[in-house]
């Protein structure tokens, strides 16, 4: 088993990575917990619900299951309220523990529910998608969507632990594997040129879920993310570079309606667009733009964005949380392994949109 430690002002906790972690969840529940609520969706529940609950039941504590509808389209207040309704109906108190068993949507919503139920209860992240394992489950960002914007309502709230069972990836659809790999290569692109090159060499192994390669990729991704959030939990500076590809990506997701593209697919495509903009305004090497496009394609993500119309694109990006005083802040590369955040002229962005959408 691999262990990565996360250390932030809001809490320190371990990430455990390895096979069979689902069967060891009881070890993560504090002795003083009064009850446990597993929040999941029907798809994940059918595959892993009973195993997780059997492990948790070994604590001798009451274990409640809360199933939410599956998909980004349901990452809203209504679903969140299903959690509150269940917790209150079953009278779970301040010392209960929530367990997020699922992908990023389940993790973000369960984390936010934990942040605000009775002004904060403890929770455990048990991510079952590659994307959630390398990104959303680590670092304490929790949220739900608002009709006027993605992740607009949320909190920074750290879990007790992140339990990554590498076995669960074997039931993941290939498209979700590709979406997860987009976030994996992102860490190389913004922080670690050696890891980027390693990803280029191992792209085929990663797509094929080679156990050793995937475990290393998860571990290295978690290490890099832990480094960043350890320095900047609340995204006042450095942490913003983790949003590479997300400003363009959010516009794709929001413009097409949440759920049409997977989040990781939108981020993968957004990275190509950010690379193009980086070459135009931040001195990023044109040859490296092609390396980004090639690797995004190699991991199975789209590299051409939908044509939403340039005005609509700019409008959708404007609503992103990363604007300051109405100005959009882009994450841009100066070279592979080095990222900055800055504004860019609308004309430059329109030029990029013209050659990256279709």
The answer to whether 200 is a known catalytic residue is no
What's the token pair of residue 239?
């942490």
Provide, rounded to whole angstroms, the least separation between the CB of residue 151 and its own copies: 8
For its own copies, give the closer residue by CB, 125 or 142: 142
Query: Contact between 149 and its own copies (CB under 8 A)?
Result: yes
Helix (H), strand (E) at residue 168:
none
The answer to whether 90 is a known catalytic residue is no
Q: For residues 71 and 100, is the Cβ–Cβ distance under 8 A?
A: no
The answer to whether 235 is a known catalytic residue is yes
Residues 119-148 touching its own copies, rule: CB under 8 A, are 119-120, 141-143, 146, 148
Q: For residues 287 and 304, is the Cβ–Cβ distance under 8 A?
A: no
Q: Nearest 5°: phi and psi at 301?
A: -100, 155
Task: Enumerate the β-bridge partners of residue 357.
Answer: 305
Query: Contact between 12 and its own copies (CB under 8 A)?
Result: no
Dihedral (C-alpha) 1, 123, 142, 192: value to the nearest 10 degrees?
Answer: -20
Q: Which of 53, 163, 176, 183 is catalytic?
A: 183
Residues 30-69 touching its own copies, rule: CB under 8 A, are 34
DSSP state of 358: -
SS3 292: helix
Q: For residues 146 and 152, is the Cβ–Cβ distance under 8 A?
A: yes
Q: For residues 140 and 102, is the Cβ–Cβ distance under 8 A?
A: no
Tell me how many residues contact its own copies (CB under 8 A).
38
Binding mask 208-247 for its own copies (x = CB under 8 A): --------------------------xx------------
Interface residues with its own copies (CB under 8 A) are: 34, 77, 81, 84-85, 88-89, 91, 93-95, 112, 115-120, 141-143, 146, 148-149, 152-156, 234-235, 318-319, 321, 323-326
Would you name the residues annotated as active-site residues? 119, 141, 183, 225, 235, 239, 243, 246, 250, 263
């Amino acid at each position: 088993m691999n262990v990565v430690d996360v250390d932030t002002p809001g809490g320190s906790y371990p990430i455990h990575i390895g096979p069979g972690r689902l069967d060891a969840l009881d070890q993560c529940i504090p002795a003083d917990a009064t009850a446990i609520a597993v929040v999941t969706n029907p798809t994940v529940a059918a595959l892993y619900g009973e195993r997780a609950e059997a492990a948790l039941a070994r604590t001798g504590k009451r274990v409640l299951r809360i199933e939410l509808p599956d998909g980004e389209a349901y990452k809203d207040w209504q679903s969140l309220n299903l959690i509150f309704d269940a917790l209150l109906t079953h009278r779970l108190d301040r010392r209960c523990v929530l367990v997020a068993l699922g992908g990023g949507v389940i993790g973000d919503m369960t984390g936010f529910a934990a942040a605000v139920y009775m002004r904060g209860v403890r929770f455990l992240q048990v991510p079952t998608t590659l994307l959630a394992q390398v990104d959303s489950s680590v670092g304490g960002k929790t949220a739900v969507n608002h009709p006027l914007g993605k992740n607009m309502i949320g909190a920074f709230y750290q879990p007790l632990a992140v339990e990554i069972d590498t076995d669960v990836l074997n039931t993941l659809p290939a498209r979700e594997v590709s979406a997860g790999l987009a976030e994996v290569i992102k860490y190389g692109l913004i922080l670690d040129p050696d890891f980027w090159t390693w990803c280029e060499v191992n792209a085929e192994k990663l797509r094929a879920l080679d156990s050793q390669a995937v475990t290393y990729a998860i571990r290295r991704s978690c290490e890099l993310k832990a480094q960043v959030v350890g320095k900047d939990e609340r995204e006042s500076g450095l942490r913003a570079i983790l949003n590479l590809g997300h400003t363009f990506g959010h516009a794709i997701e929001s413009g097409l309606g949440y759920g049409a593209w997977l989040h990781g697919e939108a981020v993968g495509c957004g990275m190509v667009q950010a690379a193009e903009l980086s070459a135009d305004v931040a001195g990023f090497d044109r040859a490296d733009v092609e390396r980004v496009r090639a690797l995004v394609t190699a991991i199975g993500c789209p590299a051409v964005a939908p044509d939403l119309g340039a005005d609509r694109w700019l409008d959708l990006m404007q609503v992103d949380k990363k604007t300051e005083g109405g100005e959009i802040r882009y994450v841009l590369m100066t070279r592979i392994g080095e990222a900055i955040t800055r504004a860019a002229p609308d004309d430059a962005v329109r030029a990029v949109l013209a050659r990256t959408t279709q």
